[in-house]
Amino acid sequence: MNTKELLMSLSNIDGPAGFEGPVLDAIEQIVKGLCDKTWRNKVGTLIAEKKGSGKTKLGIFAHVDEVGLTVAKVEEGFLRLETVGGVDPKVLLAQRVKVYTREGVVNGIVGILPPHLQKEEHRSKFPDYDKIFVDVSCDERGDKVRVGDICVFDVKPIEINGKISGKALDNRAGCVSLLLAANLLRKLQHDADVYFIFSSQEEVQGPGAISATYELGLDQAVVVDVTHANVKQASLPLIKLGEGPVLGIGPTIDPGFYKRALDIAQKHNVKVQIEPLPGRSGTDTDQIQITRIGVKTLLISIPLMYMHTPVEVVDLKDVEETARLLAFIAAE
C-alpha cells in the first residue's frame, strides 16, 4: 500500500460532517479486502471486522469527516455561509470553493476587495461571516444553489519533501493509518476481535463513534486523530512533525492501557511523543470512554500543522509509524 497515494486520494474526496458517503465508499473498497466483514450503521459509520479468538473486542477509530460550510442565504449570485465544524473566517478569503447542489457542483469564489480599493478600516480588520460572501455569478449553474447546500474548499493536495499538504488531513491521515494497520495485521496473530471503525460527524460532535461503540460492546478502544504540531505553547511540550505518533495522557485515557501502549512502542522501536490532556481531549475519545458501562480508551494522535485550513500538513512517516503501533497494540 502506497501511503502517499492513499492519503492524497482521500484528501481529494469531499466529505464534510454528515456528508461522508463518497469517502466511506473509497475506504470500504480498500478495507473489505483486508478484513473479514464490513458494514455501515444507521448514522453512516463504516465498521470493518477482523476476527480473532473472540475473547475480547478492540475498536480502532478514525473519523472520516472534514470541516466545511453550508449555504445559509442566497442573494442574486452571491451566497452567505455558515460553518460545519470549526472554520476560521480568515482562511476563506480569496479561496475557490465548490458548492454541491442537487444539479451538480457549482464553482464559487470567496470575494475580497483588492488592496487598491480597500479603505483603512478594511486593512485593519478581518471580516466575520456576516461580511463574507461567495460569488457564483460566473458559473452558469449558479442559480441552482439552494439554502442548505454543502460547500468545501477547492484545493488539491501536494507533496513537499516527504510531507503532504492539503485539506481534510484531519482526519484522513488517521483513516490511512487504520488501513495500513489492517494490512499489517494480516501478518500478525491476534486474540482480540479487532474492529476498524471509520466514524462520521466527529467535527460536529456527532453520533458516529458513540453508536458504533454501543453496537459492538467494546472492551477497549483506540482513537486515532490529529494534534497541533510545531506550535510553541508555554505550558505544553512541543509536538514535532516527523517525530512519531503522540500518546495522550489525562482523565479520558485509561492509565493501564496508556502504560501498555508505551511498553509496546518501546518493544517494537516505535518512537512516540507524549501530550498531556488535563481535561477533555476534543476527540471521539471523550464520548467513547463513557458509552454504555464505559470503555478503556487510548488516544493516539498524528502531528499536524495548520489544522482546519486548506493547507494542513502531515509527515508520511508519522502516519506509517502510527499504523505500526496500532498493529502491534492489536496483536498484543
Catalytic residues: 202
Sheet holding 163-166, edge to edge: 158-160, 163-166, 312-315
Beta strand segments in 192-295, E: 193-199, 220-228, 246-249, 273-276
Q: Other C-beta atoms within 10 Å of 68: how many?
A: 26
Beta strands in 238-316 (DSSP E): 246-249, 273-276, 296-304, 312-315
Grid cell digits, residue 138: 460566473
Give the single-character DSSP code of 239. Answer: P
Side-chain half-sphere exposure of 305, counting CA atoms within 13 A: 15
Residue of 18, 135, 155 whose CA lies nearest to 76? 135
